[in-house]
Amino acid sequence: MSHALPIRVLSAKDIHDLLTYDRCIAAVEQAMSETSAGRVTLPLRQVMPVPGDRGRLGMMPGAFAADSSFGIKLISLYPDNPAFGLSSHLGLYLLFEAEHGRPRAILEAGALTAVRTASASAVATRHLARRDARRLAIIGTGEEAETHLAAIPRVRDIAEVVVWGRSADKAAAFVARHRDRINIRAAASLEEAVRGADIVCTVTAARTPILFGAMLEPGQHVNLVGASTAATAEADGEVVRRSRFFVDSRQSAMAEAGELLAAIRDGIVDESHIQAEIGEVISGARPGRRGDDEITVYKSLGIAPQDLAAAGEVLRRAEAEGRGQMVEI
């Protein structure tokens, strides 16, 4: 017996309209706490090379133990896409209800990923950065630079933003887009951007380190966001060694955190260098920053509970406001 299944389809515009940063930060913060408490189903993501070696297909399923839904993100990762006017992350998030396993919603995954990734950095910054942090350095000029610029000021009183990118023209354009609403300027070098910053967010497509431990200063907090495989790294081993190192998931970090894995391979640190999952800091199970002179690093890989929490928030708002398109399959 077959029955038509009604599904709500939510576009990137729907997601940006419904998923405010305050809502997403709250949802991700709760998701990270649930993750570290062991109340999630979190398989390691699977990544498949696509024909022609142009990119990869990522598959990220997950579920909360106490929730009435589960889901999976299917997303193509094409690093060269921005040169063609396309996002490097394109795909779909599929949300199901748990009682009968019926699909409930299809969400555009690029927007969902961009907002939840920046929100995860904001959660880490809330719990790890100095309370008086006011200067933000953004390393990179793409979509995640935009979302981090929007998210980080939700958790700290940012008075100045310095941006650096490998293309000076793109950095200048980034500054021009935002100078009317925030004090922002472009740095001539990455070293200049990091110098004096309280919070540093690396959101690049770099495959080998561009941030070096010698650049860091006491009291800084760093969000390492761009690299998401064991073979890539935005920061060198000295960044890892000098910092108290926090992760979203130990399991994911030991499989995919390129910066940490390279430092372990080179004998600089071992697995015990992971201070805590951010969810453990949120719950108070483990300490976060212990003093104003510490350097803290949060390695963001992005995990399925973050996507599920964000997707669930979008769907609740969409149902309440009648947003999206209803289709039957």
Query: Which domains are delineated in the chain?
Result: 6-113+305-328 (3.30.1780.10), 129-302 (3.40.50.720)
Burial 141-150 (b: 16+ CB within 10 A, else e): bbbbbbbbbb
What is the per-residue pLDDT for 67? 80
Tell me what pLDDT residue 3 has: 77
- Identify the H or E element spanning 86: none
Q: Give the pLDDT confidence score for residue 80 in this predicted structure.
A: 84
- Give me the pLDDT at residue 319, please: 97
Helix axes 143-151, 168-178, angle to 10 degrees: 40
**Angstrom distance (rounded) from CA 165 to CA 144:** 12
Global pTM exceeds 0.85? yes
* Per-residue pLDDT at 72: 98
Which pLDDT score is estimated for 179? 96
For residues 117 and 24, give the distance between their C-alpha atoms in angstroms, rounded to a whole number. 10
Residue 2: predicted pLDDT: 62
Q: How many CA atoms lie within 13 A of 231 on its CB side?
A: 1
Q: How far, in Å, CA of 261 to CA of 252, rounded?
A: 11
Give me the average pLDDT of each 10-residue run along the chain (329 residues): 86 97 98 96 91 90 89 92 85 95 96 97 98 98 96 98 97 97 97 98 96 98 95 97 98 96 98 98 97 98 96 97 95
Read out DSSP for 205-245?
--SS--B-GGG--TT-EEEE-S--STT--SB-HHHHHHSEE
Report CA dihedral (327, 46, 283, 294) to the nearest 10 degrees. -130
Whole-angstrom distance, CA of residue 221 vs CA of residue 129: 5
* CA atoms 109, 162, 136, 202: torsion sign: positive
Give strand pairing partners of 64. 40
In this predicted structure, what is the pLDDT of residue 1?
58
